[in-house]
Every structure is written in structure tokens, then in C-alpha cells.
Amino acid sequence: MKYNLLSLFLLMLCTSLAPKDLFAQGTVKGKIVDATTKEPLPGATVVLKGTNQAVPASADGTFTMKVDDANAKAILVNYIGYIQKEVSIAGLNGVKNLGTIALSATENSLNEVLITANSYAIERETPVAMSTITSDIIVEKAGQQEFPELLKSTPGVYATKSGGGYGDSRINLRGFQSANIAVMINGVPVNDMESGKVYWSNWAGLTDVTKAMQVQRGLGASKVAVPSVGGTINIITKTTDAIKGGSIYQGLGSNGYSKTAFSYSTGLTENGWAFAVSGSKTEGDGWAEGLNYDAYSYFFNASKLINEKHTISLTGFGAPQYHAQRYDRLTIQEYRDAPQGLRYNPNWGVLNGDFQTISGNFYHKPQISLNHYWTIDETSFLSTAAYVSVGTGGNEFDNSPSAGLDFEKYRFGNNKYQPINLDAIVEENGNSEDGRALGYLQSNRNDHRWYGVLSTYQKSLSQNFNLLAGADLRYYKGIHFNSVRNLLGGQYVLDNGDINNPNKKADQGDKIGFYNEGIVLWEGGFLQGEYKAGPLAAFVSLAGSNTSYQRIDYFKYKNDDPMQKSDKVNFFGFQTKGGANYNLTENHNLFANLGYFEKAPFFNSVFLNNENVVNKEAVREKILSYELGYGYRTAKLSANVNLYRTTWRDRSFTKSFQGQDGSRYFANLLNVDALHQGVEVDFAYNPIKTVSLKGMVSVGDWTWLNDLGETKVFDENQVEVGKVPAVYMAGQKVGDSPQTTAAIGLDVNVTTELKLGVDYNYFANFNADFNPTDLTTPGMTPWSVPDYSVFDANASFKFKFAGLNGTLYATVNNLFNTEYISDAFARFGTRPETGEKFNDVTNTQVYFGNGTTWTTGLKINF
């Protein structure tokens, strides 16, 4: 007995004195993500080194492994297409959280890493201000929001639903509208080649397949020859998942919202093929009255891992949709007087007892790209993408009073707050002489054909220096015409817009008013050197592009007139930028960038007055931008401070506005100068693993610098209707978005299954947008929009169902039903006694933001 007690005592003593890692055991946890996008990598494999013990990562990239091996020293983390990573677990005793484990993709992986890396910014390396939203955040917080709105808590960003129609959202970045923000999908630019605008309804259904979305403010990290003034928004869609599986989703929400979606991937097969497909249908009534919509989306990808040097990938996606719009902004008093209140929409009517929009949008813009990735040798790599996009569609609206009946006089009960009685207009058309349609719906079309090639070559000249070179070639034809959309019981529309066919009797679908084409050729290239050694990362980039414009007008010029096709006009643009990031310590980094570029003016500034005469005064726009930034990183807190200043000279743009009579008008503005400067602060704090707190403050100072000379005004049929002799813009604050914004968001994992979130956004220092041609008296200033703030909330709950993983989502936007003005356009009254124009809130036209909306959805992964 004594011998046994002594043996037991000695054994216990040896155990207590032994090194702790001699009998390493316990549990390790962590989360596996893509090193570039921070996107979770579900299905990644975690192997206990030296054993066959392995566990997979779950749908959010997290894993848990129990370790009983006394000799265990490390784990190996693997994912198809990524470089294996070894992580030490020496000294394991109990539960050890390894935190986030970032894997870097191999150059020939199925994740199209080169396009991602060449347009994505990397923290503490790329010297730009950036914010990234991953797919898990998009899924949790989207609800009935669209791409731009998902970025509203980003510094410098302002996004609204505009009139509230599906896909009608808009976004401004550092005070710049979308025409001057470079938007790319998988590295391919999607801004309209003529106007620079982005029509989000073309992409509204693609949130389901978005892998990550990054906002790069200022110069941006894109290496293609795309000069971005305000910044770059890069949307990376999912390509082919490396694991087999899929999902189905059903969502319901307020205002008749319904969404059904599915996705499936074969994973990587033994012969190197992989396929993925997804699709969705979304429909609803919209928050305001008369905003019905019906939208679809589809996505497919087929990839082939040919060998260790070559991979090809074919990707296609599109989002055909039709949605009603609320085009007309109204005065605040008009909303107050309307029985419908803030939901009032004047742009719809009743035909044969059913809803009929008066202002709608229909469009389909599929994009297909074929990508080839070639690992030439250990130091060089070539990526080439050929893409095509064929867009067709436009908007619809009623004829102008000058061309026929005034629709406003046919409202039920002669009450402006009632819908338009289209049946009464049908009756009028039936009584007209020989069936001429006196009232009809028309459609401005903007079809296009777009072809392009992007190719990037990367060469490692040394361990620390890379050289990149690329070509960006594009051909674009924009086909613009007005057409008869609905004859409303009439037999034809009498049109004199075509000089080759005067007094034309146009049938439904026929072109009327105007018909012209814009052809844009773009030949661009870039050269960039990148240096990275220790804590320093720096780059210098040069880019050049030739933009050629040509205009063809089939209505304004005779078929035998050589002026029917304009001369080609070329604008050479160039861009030079550079920057450096220096990591002072593991916690602190500094960066700076500087860029200057000159870019071609927009198409309408080259061909003024909708004529085939080249504007000899059109000059390249000139932009100088620089930025300083500081970053702080610890295990729990990350924060950034950015200072920026952008000067823009010789800006040109087309301004559209609604006249006092309700008609649509346009003005081409030339040689405008502006200054955009400000400071941005953002942070993310994780006091404990289950709590995440994020916030930002952005303060801008955006000002117009000069007055303008004579400006011409045109109606919706591109006919000149007047001139304005002088415009007094100098010193005016840039309107259309708040210059001060702030946000804070809290996400809490209450349990492993339940996650709750709430977001607060604040907007201030907000001047209404304005028509510069109204500023004909010195000292006039647009109306200031009242400050406002909005709360959103979201929740997700994970569960098991018949052996499958399921998630229930719920979101509420504008939780407290706050009443606020999201968009405003200043109109100026006229003093009867003097004829002088003056600013008055009673004349300013606004959109109120949506009230409370809710969405819930169920997703099952299989």
C-alpha cells in the first residue's frame, strides 16, 4: 500500500513538472478567410499535422477541432486553389482561439484571383482608403436594399432610393455622382461609355452572387485605365465554388415583397471541371403607390483547370427587369396635402381597370466574359478577359402637352392626387380624326453593344519588385431613339421628328422624335511598378488612353447629307499616380498617394446641342488628387484616419431637371471647376469574440469654384428651347449629398446560432441639388435639407433541418419610421414686383425617404 501511494505521488509530481506542451490537448477554434477579400472559405479543411484527423470549416468559415494527441504541434489549413498554411498550436491546454486565418490564393486557382488582386486593395499594403463588405454582411443586412444602399455606412458615401422604384437607387462618393465613380464587376468597367452613369437596376438582382464589394475612395487601386474621380466600387461575384453544394432561398416582406432564389455548384471534378449556376425572381408593390416591379437575375460559371499552367473560366450574368418609377419630385406641401401622404406618386394611371405606370423602366443588360489565366513560369503570369455586353431597354412616359393631350387634365375627379384615367384618353383617341393618338405613352431607348478585352501581364523582376503591364480595349455603340410605347387605343402617332420622313404615321414600336447613335472607341494601357520589402509597400503607375467619339443622326440629317455621320474626334487622356504604405509597427501604418490625370469630356459635351458638329471648345478634364492616411490595428481594435483633397478643372456634364410646367429639360455645362476636400475616420472594435462595433465620421467641404457663361437648354426631344446668359456658381456648396455623415453599428452573437445587429446613420450639412441655369442672380443659394438619422436592425438564426444547414434572416429598415427628405432639387421662385428669382422651400422639389420596411427570409444549404 505504501509502495502504491509513493508511486502515485511520484507520478503526480512528474506530471506537474513536465513541460506543458508535452501532453498538449484541448480544443482549437478559428475562422478561415480569403486573404484579399476577407470572404469566409466554407469547406476549407483543417488537419492536425502528422495525423489523419481533420474537420471542415462551416458556412461562415469557422471551425472547431478537439485535440487529444500529446505530440500535436500544429494544424494545416487547406482549401482548393489556395496555398496551404501551417498554424502552431504548441502549448495547447484547454480552448485556444486562433482568430482569423487568412489563406492566399494560388495564381491559377478557380477564384479568378488575378482580376481580384489587380483591382482589390489590401489593408496595410495598398495605399488607398478602402472599405470592404463581404457576402455574409450583404446577406444579413440587404433586406429590400440595393447595392448602393449597402454602402451607406461607408465614409464619404451617400446612397438613397431616389424615387423609390426598384433599381432606382443612386450613390454619391465624396460629393461626386456615379458618372465620376468607377464601377467594376469582376474588374470589368460598367459605367456607360457616353455619359459615365451607372444604372443600378441593371445589376439589382446580383446581390445573391456577390462575393465581396469594396469601396476605394479617391484614386483607387484599379490598374486598368479607368480614371475615377470620386473613387472606385469593385463588385466581385462568386465564381465556381470549390466544393459541391447549393442553396434555396425564399423571402417575404412588406409592400408585397417576394423573392425566390437558388444556387448550385458541382465543385471541382476529378477531370478539372467545375460548374455553378444561380437565379432569382423578385417582385413587389414598392413602398410608394404605383411602384410595382418584376425582376429576375441569373448567373453561371464554367471553369476548367487545364493543367498547372492554364485555367479558363466562362462567366455570365444578367438581371432583366421591369419596374414602375416615381419620376416627379414634389414640393413638401404637395405631400402634406395628398391623402396618400409621403407615399403619393403622380406617375401612374388606370387602364381597363388595372394599374398602368406612366413612368417606368425596362432593361436587360447581360454580360458574358471568357477569362484565361496562364502561369508562364515561376516569375510571370498573364490574365486575359474578353467580354461582351448587349443592353436593350429604356424608360416610358407620357407625351408632352405640346405633342397632344395633357395627361394632367385626365385625373379622376379632376383631382391632382388621383391616378390618371387612361380609359378616358383611350376614348379621346377613339374620337380623334382618322384614329390619330392625341395621348400616348412613349419610350426613350438606350440600347447598346459593348465589346472589350482586358489583359494584364505580371513579372517578378526580383523578390521585392514586380512589374505589371496591361491593355484595356473597348468598342461601344449606343443606340438612342424615342419610340411609341402604347397608342392607348389610337391607330398612329403623327411625328415630324424625322427629316427623311416628315408627317410620319408611327405605329406602336416605331421610332419618333429622335434617332441617333454614339460610337465610342477606347484604347488604353498601363504600366505599373510595385515594390515591397519589409514594412514598405510602394507603387508608381502610368496609364494612357485614346477615346474617340463619333455621332450618327438618322433623323436630323438627310440620308444623302455627309453630316449625317460626324467626323471622329479623339481625346488622349493620361493618368499618373503613385503611393506608399509604411507599417511603422504591427499596430501602426501610414500611407500617402498622389495622382494627376486628364480625361476625355463626356460625349454630350463634344457634340453639343444634339448635333453632329464637334465642339471645338471641348477640352480634357483635369484632376489633381492627393491623400494622407493613418491606420491602427490590434487584435480587438482597428481604426483609420484619411485626409483628402481633389481639384477638378474643366469639368463637363449634362444636367437634367424638371421645369415649372412639369416637362423634362436638359442643359450641357462646360468648363466647371470644383474643389472636394475632407477628413474621414472609421473604426471596428471587437471587445469580445461575440461583439462587433463599427463606426465612422466623414466631414467634407465640397465647393464650386467658378461662374459659367451662356448655357443652352433642351427639351426631352433634344430641341433647343432657350438660353441662359450667365450662371453664378462660384462659392456654391456642391449639393445632392450631405457633406457630413456618421454611422455606428453593433452586431452581437447572442448564441452560436443567433446573431443580432443594429445600425445608426446620421446625415447633415446637406444642400439641395440645383439647376445651375437658375442661378442668374449673384448671391442665390439652394435650400438646405434638414439633418436626419435612421436606424436599421437585422437578425439571423442558424439551425439544422433534416441534416441540412438552414438560416432564418430578418431585417427592418428605418426601424422607427423616421420621416426625412432623402433627395432635394432646388427650384427658385420669382418675385412679381421685380422679376428677381429667390430661394424658397415651398418651391423645392423633394423625395421623402421610405418609411419602415421589413423583410424575412429562409435559406437552406445542401
Give the separation between CA 394 and CA 658, rounded to whole angstroms. 19
| DSSP codes, 613-641 | S--TT---EEEEEEEEEEEEE-SSEEEEE
| Residue 848 and residue 822 in contact, taking contact as beta carbons nearer than 8 Å | yes
Give the separation between CA 140 and CA 127, rounded to whole angstroms. 30
φ, ψ dihedrals at 215, nearest 5°: -105, 120
The distance from CA 363 to its chain's CA centroid, rounded to whole angstroms, is: 17
| Residue 835 confidence (pLDDT) | 65
Angle at the Cα of 10 from the Cα atoms of 6 and 13, rounded to 5 degrees: 140
| Residue 23 confidence (pLDDT) | 44
| Residue 296 and residue 264 in contact, taking contact as beta carbons nearer than 8 Å | no
Task: Give the three-class secondary structure for 435.
Answer: helix
φ, ψ dihedrals at 798, nearest 5°: -100, 145
Residue 156 inside a domain? The answer is no
What percent of the residues of the chain are helix, what percent strand, and what percent coil, each to the nearest 5?
A: 10, 55, 35
| Residue 398 and residue 486 in contact, taking contact as beta carbons nearer than 8 Å | no
Give the separation between CA 405 and CA 429, rounded to whole angstroms. 10
Residue 427 inside a domain? The answer is yes
Give the separation between CA 500 and CA 498, rounded to whole angstroms. 5
Q: Determine what percent of the chain is predicted with pLDDT higher than 90.
A: 58
C-alpha grid cell, residue 490: 389610337
pLDDT lower than 70: segments of the chain:
1-24, 36-37, 43, 59, 80-81, 105-119, 221-227, 239-243, 653-664, 666, 668, 716-718, 829-839
Give the separation between CA 26 and CA 93, rounded to whole angstroms. 5
Q: Name the β-bridge partners of 492.
A: 436
Residue 171 inside a domain? The answer is no
Give the separation between CA 456 and CA 107, rounded to whole angstroms. 13
| Residue 375 confidence (pLDDT) | 85
φ, ψ dihedrals at 319, nearest 5°: -150, 75
Residues 6+ apart with CB under 8 A from 9: none
The CATH number linked to 591 is: 2.40.170.20
C-alpha grid cell, residue 460: 517578378
Give the separation between CA 460 and CA 857, rounded to whole angstroms. 47
Give the separation between CA 413 and CA 398, rounded to whole angstroms. 20
C-alpha grid cell, residue 330: 414634389
Sign of CA dihedral 373, 376, 377, 378: negative
Give the separation between CA 531 and CA 464, rounded to whole angstroms. 6
φ, ψ dihedrals at 336, nearest 5°: -65, -35
pTM of the predicted model as reported, rounded to 2 decimal places: 0.86
Q: How long, in residues, is the chain?
A: 862
Which amino acid belongs to residue 209? V
Where does 166-237 show beta strands of DSSP type E?
170-173, 181-185, 188-189, 210-217, 231-237
Residue 132 inside a domain? The answer is no
Angle at the Cα of 770 from the Cα atoms of 769 and 773, rounded to 5 degrees: 160
Residue 684 inside a domain? The answer is yes
Cβ burial of 802 (10 Å; 0-12, 13-18, 19+) is exposed
How far apart, in Å, are the Cα atoms of 438 and each of 407, 426, 499, 514, 794? 10, 9, 22, 19, 50
| Residue 604 confidence (pLDDT) | 86
| Residue 677 and residue 690 in contact, taking contact as beta carbons nearer than 8 Å | no
User: Which of the listed residues 55, 87, 103 is the one where a domain comes to its end?
Assistant: 103
Residue 78 inside a domain? The answer is yes
Give the separation between CA 612 and CA 635, rounded to whole angstroms. 61
User: Which of the listed residues 70, 103, 136 is the one where a domain comes to its end?
Assistant: 103
Nearest-CA neighbor of 737 among 772, 706, 795, 698?
Answer: 698
User: Which of the listed residues 65, 84, 103 is the one where a domain comes to its end?
Assistant: 103
Q: Could you say which DSSP state residue 835 is in?
A: -
How many C-alpha atoms does 429 have within 13 Å on its Cβ side? 25
The CATH number linked to 41 is: 2.60.40.10
| Residue 61 confidence (pLDDT) | 79
Run of H or E residues at 604: helix 603-606
C-alpha grid cell, residue 839: 430661394
How many C-alpha atoms does 57 have within 13 Å on its Cβ side? 27
Residues 6+ apart with CB under 8 A from 384: 371, 372, 374, 453, 454, 455, 456
Domain containing residue 43:
2-103
Residues 6+ apart with CB under 8 A from 364: 318, 319, 320, 321, 391, 392, 393
Give the separation between CA 92 and CA 24, rounded to whole angstroms. 5
| Residue 118 confidence (pLDDT) | 53
Sign of CA dihedral 435, 437, 443, 445: positive
Residue 346 inside a domain? The answer is yes
Give the separation between CA 776 and CA 707, rounded to whole angstroms. 10
Provide the number of structural domains found in the chain. 2
| Residue 718 and residue 692 in contact, taking contact as beta carbons nearer than 8 Å | no
Residues 6+ apart with CB under 8 A from 398: 358, 407, 439, 440, 441, 442
C-alpha grid cell, residue 726: 450667365
C-alpha grid cell, residue 272: 478539372
Question: pLDDT tens digit string along 583-628?
Answer: 999 999 999 999 999 999 889 889 877 889 888 778 899 999 999 9
Nearest-CA neighbor of 302 among 319, 317, 287?
Answer: 317
Angle at the Cα of 239 from the Cα atoms of 43 and 476, rounded to 5 degrees: 170
| Residue 37 and residue 116 in contact, taking contact as beta carbons nearer than 8 Å | yes
The residue to which cell 519588385 is assigned: 465
Which amino acid belongs to residue 640? N
Nearest-CA neighbor of 486 among 349, 290, 320, 326?
Answer: 349
| Residue 223 confidence (pLDDT) | 62
Residue 357 inside a domain? The answer is yes
